[in-house]
Amino acid sequence: MRHKISKFFCFILCIVCVTLSASAAKEILTVQFYDVNNAKYVSRQVTTVDLVCDGEVLTPDVPALIDRGRTLVPIYIIGDLLNAQVEWNQEFRRAQITTADKSLILTIGSSLARVNGQEVELPDGIPAALVKYNGADRTMVPWRFVAEQLGATVEWDPDTYTVTMFFEREAEPESLPENDEKPQEDAENEMNQDIDEPVEEEPEPPLIPPFTSLEELVVVLDAGHGGSDPGAINEFVEEKEINLAVTLMVSDRLEEAGVQVYLTREDDSHVSLSERTTFANELLANIFVSMHSNAAEDAPSAHGIETYYYSDDREGAILASCVQKNVIETTEAKNRKTKTANFYVCKNTLMPAVLVEMGFLTNANESLLMVTEEYQQLIADGIAEGILDYAESIIEKNGAIKSLRFFTCLKGGRLLETRG
């Protein structure tokens, strides 16, 4: 009898264990993954995951899911939570996540990522993916890898299939106990304060000074990457070297025309993105131009030059057109035209700003040109001529001062008083 009862309780225990295990597992969904090799979407069953950030449960339109043991989340969540700028390049199926001091590039289907220009193997080789579910189409990226690269802490609970992310926050100042009294000197100072003293208002953002001649024009030139951040790399050269070489040539050309030129870096040093924009803003520069070299490992035939500006920067669009037109004329490279992007240095500068991608280091023919001093000079001449064309068009305008003040206000999203 005891033997039968023992078997019965074992049977019940097994049922309970199976039930608990089943309850711990998350929902199984059928989603569509983009197959890079066959250029089509294929159906796949995946397990969903709960996302929690600082105690808040997140509910993205395409749920977080497990792909071969790694959690993937929609990239827009990364941007929202970590205050990062997210860029998507449809042509190369490449996502870029940028903060003030970190740049991550992930390519759909590639097990390699670039962190501040350096190639890094993704954990378990699980790449970013394009996923469709319930009418939504999202770029999904490895959650832990991206979050930890950007300074967050990630924890995994296998019992509840929950991923939790934490941020390091500065400690709150300790408050005084209710019975503690302030020092006598502080108390007397407070008593002596004028109760009618007006509250100090925050100062308005600085106005960019107008220029009415090339001698008054202030231009900041930015050689992308540098120091420990090499940028794109091929067997001949690192991007940072070409960027600096062309920047110095542009500087020489502008100074010959009488322009006041400042450089974010003049040697192989590392300068953060925030330091670059702060430098330009504190100078109250009139124009900001950043030099970069492109790369597309999955599209080695890609070539040509393109110039980017921030979408809300109307004058930046005009500056980009001037630069692009002239650099194509001098180099006779393929015209990849002007494009909008939320690049940090374009978005966070007060003045019109553009970023020039001067060619592809991943293209065998173009990269051979880009390492030559002759071709670098052609690029520099085109960029310099574009800057001068734009500046001269501003100078020629009858209302140059008001025009300059007006576009500066628009870019910063603020309405500042203009003076003639």
CA atoms within 13 A on the CB side of 87: 23
Buried (b) or exposed (e) across 249-283, using 16+ Cβ within 10 A? bbbebbeebebbbbbbbeeeeebebeebbebbbeb
What whole-number distance in Å separates Cα of residue 147 and Cα of residue 248? Answer: 36
Phi and psi at 394, nearest 5°, equal -70, -45
Q: Where are the alpha helices (DSSP H) in 195-293?
A: 239-256, 273-283
Parallel, antiparallel or unpaired: strands 65-67 and 118-121: unpaired
Query: What sign does the dihedral 335-339-345-351 (CA atoms) show?
Result: positive
CB 303 within 8 A of CB 365: yes
Distances (CA, A) of 380 to 2, 103, 251, 374: 92, 25, 9, 10
Residue in 166, 170, 167 with CA at minimum distance from that of residue 156: 166
Distances (CA, A) of 330 to 301, 309, 379: 22, 21, 7
What whole-number distance in Å separates Cα of residue 109 and Cα of residue 111? Answer: 7
State which H helix or E strand residue 330 sits in.
Answer: helix 314-331
Dihedral angle at the C-alpha atoms of 276, 219, 348, 92, nearest 10 degrees?
-80
Angle subtended at Cα 342 by Cα 239 and Cα 58, rounded to the nearest 5 degrees: 115
Phi and psi at 92, nearest 5°, equal -105, 5
Active site residue 357: yes
Q: Which of 357, 366, 373, 417 is catalytic?
A: 357
Query: What sign does the dihedral 299-77-232-324 (CA atoms) show?
Result: positive
What whole-number distance in Å separates Cα of residue 29 and Cα of residue 46? Answer: 5
Query: What order of strands is seen across the sheet that includes strand 85-89?
Result: 85-89, 94-98, 103-107, 112-115, 118-121
Active site (catalytic) residues? 357
